[in-house]
Amino acid sequence: MTYQEDLMPGKSDATDNDAGYNYGYLNEQTKRMIRRAILKAVAIPGYQVPFAGREMPMPYGWGTGGIQLSACLLGPNDVFKVIDQGADDTTNAVSIRKFFARVTGVETTEKTGEATVIQTRHRIPEAPLQEDQIMVYQVPIPEPLRWVEPRESETRKMHALEEYGVMHVQLYEDIARHGRIATNFMYPVKVDGRYIMCPSPIPKFDNPKLDMSPALHLFGAGREKRIYAVPPYTDVKSLDFEDHPFQVESWDACCGLCGARDSYLDEVILNDEGERMFVCSDTDYCSSRRAQGNFGPMAGREDVAELMGESPQTA
């Protein structure tokens, strides 16, 4: 197809990609269908566009929506990064990175700043995103109203008519039960003053990064077969009450390895004597801070050396 050749100048000389598969694993018709859905999603920020999701060579729940998006986006000149809960070196991240290295031959990286496409499971990198970057999210449940309204026909109607009062019922319940809004991830947002959107299960710490972000954010739900988007420089507001405003998580400690106080921290239990530490969930952010000479209180300890691991080898 000429279409394919247009899209991939230099395919013939590029690369080590697996000749047994079409470029990007999906066939061209499928990619075209998904690209159309992406365009529609970008045109209507926050609206869930249905698409004919394909079977991917991995189970639902492992990121089938995300990899279908990535497969349609990656061109030969892209640089691809995959993170899983902030880390570049976990199984899911490593396998997806390997998969695309094999079926497209694109260059992969762990540096947030170098990547043009970043597929992510449940985190937004700490380093600020730029205009030419695309974030791809893996979404398990795209429907933010699902918790209060199980009927799909009804939730679509509610979106269409902008009947969103019921979203606050969930937040009300939180405050009634816990005295504060205890929802910490999948925190609902209103996009561009219109659609309520589920930002995939990112911690609410990352919600403010979506607001007026220079990058394009694409969300893919493989099982539910929905694609939605937050285009660059779009208003994204987290829902809240006037007397219980939206707040992000905060920690008493800093990152034990790099000393960061401004990043999302994971708690790690070190041994059975109750010792614990907090570490940046974004491994790239943590290691680049250490490379710049920032160290946390536990950076010198031998027993946590594994956590600092020299950045894992690229797939």
Active site residues: 46, 255, 258, 280, 286
How many Å apart are CA 74 and CA 85, to the nearest integer? 22
In the complex, the smallest distance separating the C-beta of residue 194 from other proteins, rounded to whole angstroms, is: 14
Q: Binder to other proteins among 33, 44, 166, 270 (CB under 8 A)?
A: 166
What is the distance of C-alpha 29 from the center of its chain?
A: 26
175 binds other proteins (CB under 8 A): yes
Q: Which is nearer to other proteins, 173 or 266 (CB)?
A: 173
Nearer to other proteins, 19 or 161 (CB): 161
User: Nearest approach, Cβ of 187 to other proteins (angstroms)?
Assistant: 16
Residue from 148, 253, 268, 270 touching other proteins (CB under 8 A): that is: 148
Q: Does 173 bind other proteins (CB under 8 A)?
A: yes
**Contact flag: residue 79 with other proteins (CB under 8 A):** no
Residue closer to other proteins by CB (options 69, 167) is 167
Does residue 20 belong to the site contacting other proteins (CB under 8 A)?
A: no
Binding mask 219-248 for other proteins (x = CB under 8 A): ---------------------xxxxx----
In the complex, the residues that contact other proteins under the rule CB under 8 A are: 148, 157, 161, 163, 165-166, 168-169, 172-173, 175-177, 240-244
